[in-house]
Structure 1
Amino acid sequence: MELGIDSFAAILPDPETGRLPTGAGRMADLLEEVETADRVGLDVFGIGEHHRAEFLDSAPAVILAAAAARTSNIRLTSAVTVLSAADPVRVFQEFATLDLISKGRAEIVVGRGSFGEAFPLFGLDVRAYDDLFAENLDLFLRLREETNIHWEGRFRPPLTGQGVFPRPHQETLPLWLGVGGTPESFARAGLLGLPLMVAIIGGTFERFRPLVDLYRESGKRAGHSPEKLRVGVHAMGFVGETDAAARDSFFPGWAHLTAKVGRERGWSAPSRAQFDTMAGPDGAFLIGDPKTVAAKIIRGSETLGGLSRITFQMSTASLETAAMKRSIELLGREVAPIVRIGKARKGPIAL
């Protein structure tokens, strides 16, 4: 199983002074986090895409290109690219360029996104977001295979044989389909034979098993081999020296962002008790000391029928820069070896 980090480049106010760090300072910290992940042997680092004041990730390919110049081995991906609100040609060019800079380490996770700000920003009708996504995904998949393309859709001018350059370093730019909880999205990924990245940001892993089964069954019916139908999970995660330290580092930033989004969507503010339940044995948050986190990863993989990748969304802990870097080190040096041994063993895992 591959392990990695996803970041939304969150920029959060100091809980005591209310002051925000500078954007340049936060970005410098983020690039150091990617360097740390590369140094400790993690497999992948992802940058999200948002168009909100709380995040600095509106141009993920630019951040990833900066990270490519400072790393050697780690794969670099979006998490996720909001393809409904983007020109697939331009997105392909950006990530093909990233692939050249990184010498074949670029990937892309595409999805519809969980926020709607991009649509009015780019002059698009949010009511058409699913049709936009389906059409743009079709074009992007064609772009991976063809340099000079003939294509026509509803939402952008047709392509009549123009060349789309540059081409990536890899023969085919790896693409995952990012999904939330919509059955149609799981079925679409299976039908297309695309690797699946499931965002599990609450609840339990168990409630996603029927949807993952739907993905695998849809892929099987479409004639795709089981090896092609890879499943990954994007989850809230953080590793500390102890379970309590990990929770205390993660909670303030998580509570701040969750409360803000909750006010916009009519949710009640989250409590510490709710958070601790999510971080507990049955919750979906992968938060705790290395043994606790490793055990939850292994159990989560078994619950979902086997996972190819888990990425930790830990940027809400960015209030604690030193703790962030230490968490990444613990994930690479202590959690990853346990998970890899555990996955290779048969029978229950004793931790």
Structure 2
Amino acid sequence: MPTMESTPVDKSQRLYNFSAGPAALPEDVLLEAREELPVYDHVGASVMEISHRSAAYDEIEAGARAHIRALLDLDDDWHILFLQGGASMQFYQVPLNFLPEDGVADYVITGRWGTKAIKEAKRVGTAHVAASSEDDNFSHIPAQETWDLHPDAAYVHITTNETVNGNQYGFDPQLDVPVVTDASSEFLSRPMNLDSYGLIYAGAQKNIGPAGVTIVLVHDDFLQRRKQPLPTMLDYGTHAERRFNTPPVFPIYMVEKVGRWLLDQGGLDAIAALNERKAQKLYDRLDRNDFYRGTVDEGARSRMNVTFRLHDADLEPVFIKEASAEGLMSLKGHRSVGGMRASIYNAMPEDGVDALVAFMDEFERTHG
């Protein structure tokens, strides 16, 4: 990694990519995919060219499911679906399947994506805000005991990590009603207590693969509660039963490789420990003095998306420009909130965080 005194960074080389998504992938996985790209496993064609009904593809999809099942210790009651449309499609598909016409669903709103999710639910039926942290710019996660839950709710929807706002649940809710979660930006970054979950969905492009596939885990007990009739492609049962249509073959191929990579790292306990260590280094730097300022309460800070501001807002574009010149990519915060955001997902190496902290030290020395 170049220093601030070095020549301009060589952008033909891999740099430290702090993008919120599509995000960094493990370099080992990319190199393996590169080797296999022209001809996959002696089948005479690229993985992007083979039939989705072929034995070679069957093996890929089965492997991807097996890795996810092993990482999360899923029993056979969990269906693992590979869908399309991103989390944004799930915002509508969940209530379409599980919100009865005369029923209600509870939503806990902790940021931009939860806000979008409840908007889509209201197109289907009655969605109730059980709790929200909007009044303090989503800087905290409402404690579970404060949630105003409807006694007859069909499900409770949460967003376990808010990519834009930089907050993350420190717990898996334990409720008597099924919990549905958008886990897009933390999926497979930590172990989960699945006891209360009915459905978990995640766009792959943060921690587990490239954009183009959405992973949905749905427990069979919850699946059986879905409404009927439903549009064929938006019915979770369609996809739980069989491979109905052409799946996004290449993204699933990459999910299989990243899942195997995670297992090789020691599984979710090991990757969670690494993620905690990376995040702590960065938050320790933010807390050192008031030159930098985190935007989220300490107890709700995301280990995936670290959001922060400078004491002088005029310095923020300078920070982003100089960081980019040093090979630290995509540190600009989301357009809706501004500031900076360092996304440090599973594939971000610890030395990338070290390089960012060193840059922050030098930037404060020269601009403080």
Q: TM-score, normalised by structure 1?
A: 0.25
Q: TM-score, normalised by structure 2?
A: 0.24
Greater relative contact order: 1 or 2 (C-alpha under 8 angstroms, separation 6 or more)? Answer: 2
Greater helix fraction, Structure 1 or Structure 2? 1
